[in-house]
A and B are shown apart, each in its own frame.
Chain A
Amino acid sequence: MLYADFEKRLDLFTLKVHIDAESGIFSLFGASGAGKSMTLKCIAGIEKPDRGIIRLGDKVLFDSEKHIDLTPQKRHVGYLFQEYALFPDMTVAGNIKAGLHHLPRRERQAKAAELMERFRISPLADKRPATLSGGEKQRVALARIFASEPEVLLLDEPFSSLDTFLKWELIPYFKETLQSFAGCSIMVSHNIDEIISLCDTVSVIQNGVAEPAVGIDDFQAMIKAKYPSVYLRNS
């Protein structure tokens, strides 16, 4: 589904990413500043790798040798930003309609209503993002992403701006939403519990170098063996 093999020189290290993700939820696990968000930004076309290839299905998004570099607009990725990046001067309904620009104007209203129903945010339609709670913002951001009909989901620390209680309340719903999505999802996180409860495969990224991906069970075993103290604290 998503194949990414690229390098990008950063200030402190060189980011080396190799991702070959099938449908399901693929995770990049690593400390803050390990290059996780940069990886997602390169896949989305917000940042440009120095060299390499990024393919989505058989569509080439980026190929440094063939000088292919599609704009983010043409990549059809759904990007969930850490703080959700809702447009502050639009209502919830306006934000979702902004994701529906590929549709004719008269169809947007009905489609937006349908999405708001699905993500249980209909009562918030006329509210501004600043007045929403963290969980509501997340649902609006997800609805907006699904409005744009993405082929891959990029999730940047989706729970980092929520408190722990709220997080565990939201995770089942979040998982259900991701599982209803036909394409693959790439989630970056520095939280072991989030990854174990949501993801299928994990690649550990350290100082910009992404290790080969392993299944979630192997990841759990590895963490347990390598960092028993971390594992105990988190379980």
Chain B
Amino acid sequence: MMDLYPLLNSLRIAAISAVIVFFIGIAAAYYIAKCPRIIKGVLDVIFTLPLVLPPTVVGYLLLLVLGPKRLIGSFFLEHFDQKLTMQWWSAIFAVTVIVFPLMYRTARGAFENFDENLASAGRTLGLSNTYIFWRIRIPACKQGIIAGVVLAFARALGEYGATSMIAGYTPGKTATVSTAVYNLWRIGNDELALKWVLINIAISAVVLLCINLVEKPYKRRSR
């Protein structure tokens, strides 16, 4: 029986990151629409940048603030005796930043297609803005939002570059599926590396299948 720790670790990192980007991605997509045009343009570039930057650059930038001798890293080390890097959960920082643009852009696309008259109708009927947001806007955009979360989760499972920089590879501690594949191949354990490769392909295929299942009824309805 092979050690399944990397799978467990990958799944929990991906799941936690997906939950985090669900909220901050929706919030960013919602509030950016209300910004003046110039600020909107600048923020959009910043929010989308992690999508096109090499993950190693994101990893480097994260180490620049979270590293043990850096601003935030040293603060936590000093006051909480806690290193922010090389923990299993350090990968969450990396993965969250990397997958954030996927959630943000999908949610923004869904919000842009939302018929603002529905929100206006809610307001003239006396409904609170919170009610309108959670009961009218989010349900109307649910296909896009679910697709965004699943896409973010899928991408999170495969994150390698930034993760290996901020969490490293410690078997049984920070190992994930993608870092295990590289490190097993590096030490010549091709057989085990191949097993992880196959597992990885299987999971990704299932996730993509889920996205298609989510998107299909959406297309049918809009016709």
Chain A residues close to B by CB (< 8 Å)? 41, 44-46, 71-73, 75-79, 81-83, 85, 87-90, 98-99, 101-102, 130, 144-145, 147-148
How many B residues touch A, CB cutoff 8 Å? 19
How far is the CB of A104 from the nearest CB of chain B, in Å?
A: 14
Instruction: Check A79–B126 contact: CB distance below 8 A.
Output: no
Please give, as numbers and ranges, the residues of chain A lying within 8 Å of B135 by CB-CB distance: 87, 90, 98
Contact at A85–B126, with CB atoms within 8 Å?
no
For B125, the chain A residues whose CB sits under 8 A away are 98-99, 101, 144-145, 147-148
Alpha-carbon gap, A99 to B117, bound state (A)? 15
Within the assembled complex, what's the spacing in Å between the Cα atoms of A32 and B125? Answer: 26
Q: Of the candidates A77, A90, A102, which one forms a contact with B124 in the assembled complex, judged by CB atoms under 8 Å apart?
A: A77
CB of B205 closer than 8 Å to a CB of A: no
Q: Which of B73-122 contact A (CB under 8 A)?
A: 115, 117-118, 120-122
Residue of A nearest to B121 (CB): A85
- Whether the Cβ atoms of A98 and B140 lie closer than 8 Å is no
Q: A85-B117, A89-B142 provided; 20 other pairs, C-beta below 8 A?
A: A46-B123, A72-B120, A72-B123, A73-B123, A76-B126, A79-B121, A81-B121, A83-B117, A85-B120, A85-B121, A88-B118, A88-B140, A90-B135, A98-B135, A99-B126, A101-B125, A101-B131, A102-B126, A130-B221, A148-B126
What is the minimal beta-carbon distance from A70 to any residue of chain B, in angstroms?
A: 11
Are A79 and B140 also in contact (CB < 8 A) when A101-B127, A130-B221 are?
no
Which of B117, B121, B135, B139 has the most chain A CB atoms inside 10 A of its CB?
Answer: B121
Inter-chain CA distance A152–B150, complex, in Å, is: 45
For the complex, give the distance between the alpha carbons of A90 and B122 in Å. Answer: 13
Report B's interface with A, CB cutoff 8 A: 115, 117-118, 120-128, 131, 135-136, 139-140, 142, 221
| Chain A contact residues, majority secondary structure | loop
Residue of A nearest to B124 (CB): A79
Q: Is there contact, CB below 8 Å, between B124 and A44?
A: yes
**Distance between Cα atoms of A73 and B117 in the complex (Å):** 14
The 5 closest A-B pairs by CB, nearest first: A89-B139, A72-B123, A85-B121, A79-B124, A85-B117
- Distance between A130 CB and nearest chain B CB, rounded to angstroms: 7
Name the residue on B nearest A100 (C-beta).
B125
Most chain A CB within 10 A, of B118, B124, B128, B221, is at B124
Partner of A75, one of B124, B127, B136: B124
Interchain CB contact under 8 A, B122 and A98? yes
Contacts of B126 in A (CB 8 A): 73, 76, 99, 101-102, 148
Give the chain B neighbours of A77 by CB distance below 8 A.
124
Can you list 25 A-B contacts with CB-CB less than 8 angstroms, sorted by A residue number?
A41-B120, A44-B120, A45-B123, A46-B123, A71-B123, A72-B123, A72-B124, A73-B126, A73-B127, A77-B124, A78-B124, A79-B120, A81-B117, A85-B121, A87-B118, A87-B121, A87-B136, A88-B140, A89-B142, A99-B126, A130-B221, A144-B125, A147-B125, A148-B124, A148-B126
How many angstroms from the CA of A98 to the CA of B142 in the assembled complex?
20
- Nearest opposing residue in chain A for B128, CB measure: A73
B136 CB contacts on chain A under 8 angstroms:
87, 89
Measured in the bound complex, the distance between the Cα atoms of B118 and A71 in whole Å is 16
CA distance A2 to B32 in the complex (A): 36
Contacts of A79 in B (CB 8 A): 120-121, 124
Residue of chain A at shortest CB distance from B120: A46
CA distance A99 to B131 in the complex (A): 12
The answer to whether A89 and B140 have CB atoms under 8 Å apart is yes
Q: Which residues from chain A contact B120 at a C-beta distance below 8 Å?
A: 41, 44, 46, 72, 79, 81, 85
Residues of B within 8 A of A147 (CB): 125
Q: How far is the CA of A222 from the CA of B142 in the complex (A)?
A: 51
Report Cα–Cα, A85/B139, bound state, in Å: 15
Closest chain-A Cβ to B217's Cβ sits at a distance in Å of 12
A98–B118 CB distance below 8 A: no
Residue ID in chain A nearest B136 by CB atoms: A87
In Å, the complex CA distance between A45 and B122 comes to: 12
Q: Which residue of chain B has the shortest Cβ distance to A147 in the bound complex?
A: B125
Q: Which residues on the B side are within 8 Å of A148 (C-beta)?
A: 124-126
Q: State A101–B132 Cα separation when bound (angstroms).
A: 12
* Contact assessment for A46 and B124 in the assembled complex, using a CB-CB cutoff below 8 Å: yes
**In the complex the two chains form, is B115's CB within 8 Å of A85's CB?**
yes
Q: Which residues of A contact B124 (CB under 8 A)?
A: 44-46, 72-73, 75, 77-79, 148
